[in-house]
Copies of this chain bind each other. A is one copy, B any other.
Amino acid sequence: MGLEAKQFGLQGLPLVRSKYEPELPPSLKGGNVKVVKGDGTTASDPSDALAITRAYPHTYAQPLVQLVAADAGQVKKHSSLRIGVVFCGRQSPGGHNIITGLFDALKKHNSESTLIGFTGGSEGLFAQKFVELTSEVLADFRNQGGFDLLGRTKDQISSLQQVNDAKAACRALKLDGLVLVGGCGTNTDAAQLAETFAASGCDTKVIGVPVTIDGDLKNQFVETDVGFDTTCKVYSQLISNICTDALSAEKYYYFIRLMGRQASHISLECALQSHSNMVILGEEVATSKMTLFDVTKQICDAIQARGEQGKYHGVILLPEGLIENIPEFYALLQEINSLLKQDVNVENISSHLSPWAAALFDFLPNFIKKQLLLDRESDGSVQLSQIETEKLLAQLVETEMTRRSKAGIYTGKKFNAICHFFGYQARGSLPSNFDCNYAYVLGQTAYYLTEAGLNGYLATVSNLKHPVDKWHCGGAPITAMMTVKRWLRGPGVSQIGKPAVHRAKVDLKGKPYEMLTQNANTWLMEDLYRNPGPIQFDGPGSDLITLTLLVEEHDYIGKIQELCEYLDKVKQIVKPGCSLEVLNAALSSMASVTDILSIMSTPAYRGLTPF
């Protein structure tokens, strides 16, 4: 807990940043905000709807809401509210601005309202450890990185005991609202708490906010999450520096593993930013079912091709989730996880593995074996971030290049690798202007959703690729973002059959990936490195956003509105009194449209889509 840590105040750039005033979109700029309800929501996959309705009877199918500017007059006084806030997910740049946004909106409408911060994350919530947040305390945390204002602990609110403890805390503290800050897991938890509270007559409304560096809380309502922008910029800065370094010394291949958990969004964005020679996305590997040897071969072939052009340096990006997307490795991880849950002694694991898993395990270098067995996540599973995939691959590549050399296939200079893991050095970064603004706006949005008595919603901001004055704020029921996983095997499956907000994978049909594939060969061979430089807060480049956000299409809400306009138009044209021809044309056209849509929406049809 950093409440006392900054007692001597900020200095230098952090001080300057603490004075930065995040921009607000038109809906929040004026004094008053109206929460407008739209249509009821549904699950994106109709075949999941039943499971979600059953699990979330009180909070499923709630309407989408929008915030719109109300009359510009005096700021309306709201009744005094008590809201609690918790950092549940992992630290991510911008988290503090969720709190300052929430605080400023809360106090603006009633200075008697109270914002309670649970200290020590979810465990603080369970144990009712908290502080009242004041403008004095918050002054030193405005636009600052990390989660050190309140700290954090466990990622998940999973047991019944924990849910009951959370409810007890909300009741004891008479909270009107509880805001959970985090990623997919946290927001699934938020939906669960909202449902439980609603079912058991607890009045506290639960609101989630999308904050995670991983960029994987992304769906029709959420365009990106808070922290992804800053994190990708810090990693890209370092990767680009290393690209320049590689080109200066011309003798090393840098294998860089990037944080980002199962999905490869960070690695993709960093590749687009830095034009690194190569990136291997977990999603590509899973889709093409590449083995460890296929991945090794792909890298070796690239090194050989570059060697033939006299190039003996390069930069290769590897997402930390790569390893579990390699089919045989995934199987091995599953077996180890299950044995560890059965409390099989670490020393005996090898003898309990299936023959094929044991063969792979025995083949692996000792350091990897140790990492597979000794580092555990809080849920007991293998801690992916501790597996040095970059070293494993560098070693396999070195062995293969030596073999090719001896066989006379590769005639270039000796292959030299240097390995890096970029993870923890970005999560505490000062957030970029984008993340400062986005988080602050989300925080304010979360206030208005709570004040409107909404429960089980995620605060959302859309149109993010445009300047802040074009942003739209709103809220979407978290249940509308849930899916149910049915496959028994496949990366990232942990809760089969239980509805959850799942981590979005990189869309291999999406624009960012298309941008990569179009350039991949040029970037591999030509060293067209690009250095975005360190994050700038002032002057040129200070308002750049990620390329992922820039090239992706994000106008789900806009399109829904456009569709409603079409439907209205048809009604307008085919008013009673219109000619029979027009009515017949409308009827046959609409019959055909509904036929097509019905077929496209059946589970069987959707099941054909890979991933």
Taking beta carbons and an 8 Å cutoff, which residues of A are in contact with B?
Answer: 1-2, 5-6, 8, 11-14, 16-17, 87, 90-91, 120, 144-148, 151-153, 234, 237-238, 240-245, 247-250, 254, 366-367, 418, 420-422, 424-430, 526-541, 544
Instruction: Report A517 CB to chain B, min CB distance, Å.
Output: 19
- Is B91 a contact partner of A245 (Cβ separation < 8 A)? yes
Q: How far is the CA of A98 from the CA of B145 in the complex (A)?
A: 36
Known: A234-B241, A425-B420. A91 touches B248 (CB 8 A): yes
Instruction: Report A40 CB to chain B, min CB distance, Å.
Output: 38
What are 6 A-B interface contacts by the 8 Å CB criterion?
A5-B527, A12-B533, A241-B427, A242-B424, A242-B428, A367-B367
- Is B428 a contact partner of A540 (Cβ separation < 8 A)? no
- Is B367 a contact partner of A14 (Cβ separation < 8 A)? no
Taking a contact as CB atoms closer than 8 A, the residue among B16, B248, B526, B531 that contacts A540 in the complex is B16
Which of A237, A427, A530 neighbours the largest number of chain B CB atoms within 10 Å of its CB? A237
- Is A5 a contact partner of B247 (Cβ separation < 8 A)? yes
List chain B residues, Cβ under 8 A from A146.
241, 244-245, 247-248
Number of copies of chain A assembled together = 2
List chain B residues, Cβ under 8 A from A153.
249
List chain B residues, Cβ under 8 A from A245.
91, 146, 424-425, 427-428
Interface of A is mostly: loop
Known: A424-B254, A424-B420, A426-B241. A11 touches B248 (CB 8 A): no
List 19 additional A-B contacts (Cβ < 8 Å) besides A12-B532, A241-B429.
A11-B530, A12-B541, A13-B532, A13-B541, A16-B541, A17-B533, A87-B248, A90-B249, A91-B245, A144-B244, A152-B249, A234-B241, A238-B238, A242-B425, A242-B428, A418-B424, A420-B421, A420-B425, A537-B539
Instruction: Report A163 CB to chain B, min CB distance, Å.
Output: 23
List chain B residues, Cβ under 8 A from A421.
420
Instruction: Report A94 CB to chain B, min CB distance, Å.
Output: 12
Nearest opposing residue in chain B for A235, CB measure: B425
Which of A153, A426, A529, A536 neighbours the largest number of chain B CB atoms within 10 Å of its CB? A536
Which of A13, A16, A530 neighbours the largest number of chain B CB atoms within 10 Å of its CB? A13
List chain B residues, Cβ under 8 A from A250.
1, 120, 151
Nearest opposing residue in chain B for A538, CB measure: B539
Q: How far is the CA of A429 from the CA of B6 in the complex (A)?
A: 30
Q: How far is the CA of A17 from the CA of B244 in the complex (A)?
A: 16
List chain B residues, Cβ under 8 A from A87.
248
Instruction: Report A10 CB to chain B, min CB distance, Å.
Output: 8
List chain B residues, Cβ under 8 A from A147.
248-249
- Is A5 a contact partner of B526 (Cβ separation < 8 A)? yes
List chain B residues, Cβ under 8 A from A428.
240-245, 248, 531
Known: A91-B248, A254-B424, A426-B241. A540 touches B13 (CB 8 A): yes
Nearest opposing residue in chain B for A366, CB measure: B366
